Structure formats: C-alpha cells, structure tokens
Amino acid sequence: IGKIKRGGVLVNFGRGSLIDEVALAKAVESSRLSSAVIDVTKDEPLPQDHCFWSCSNILLTQHTGGGTGDEIDGKIDFFLSNLQHYLDETPLQSLVDFTKAK
C-alpha cells in the first residue's frame, strides 16, 4: 500500500488475503490513497464491525453477486448427472472441445 502513488486508487478483484485491510482503511482515511475498490475481503461476508464499512472512499462490491441461493445444489446435480452418463457410457454434458481452443 505504501508503494502506491500518493492519491492513487487501489483495486482488488483477486484475493482478499492479499491486502492488509486495516492499513488500507488507514491509508484511505488519511488521504494517502484517494480511494479503493474492493471486490474480495479476507472474511466474507464482511463482518458488520469491519473498518471498511466506515470508510466513505472504499467501494465494496459483492464478489458473489452472480450467484444464486441454490448454486451449490445445481453444481452437485450437474456433477451427479454427468457421473451417471459416464457410468452408463453415454455422452457427457457440456464437453469442451480443446481442438477449437486458440
């Protein structure tokens, strides 16, 4: 965080564990950084008492915003269906044709 140009913006869409969240909040609050956009945090969901909630210049986006409540069940159902196809020696669903990869 200290290596970022003064007044810069930190954006993290990678791993929450990469950022010292307390140091980031202090850098934004002190105007060392102008702002931050955080899509992932060390703990998800972000605890209600986390320092990011009180930082007006930290934009939090929901990392799992594209998911659904039954997403895990759907993945399990898909796997089990393909497993049955495999065991029955019938065509699998959603095969990737690696010969078309560029």
The residues annotated with a catalytic role in the active site are 15, 44, 63
Q: Which residue has the tokens 């992932």?
A: 40
Pairwise CA distance, residues 33 & 51, whole Å: 16
The C-alpha angle 46, 49, 53, rounded to 5 degrees, equals: 70
Contacts of 28 (CB under 8 A, 6+ apart): 34, 35, 36, 55, 57, 58
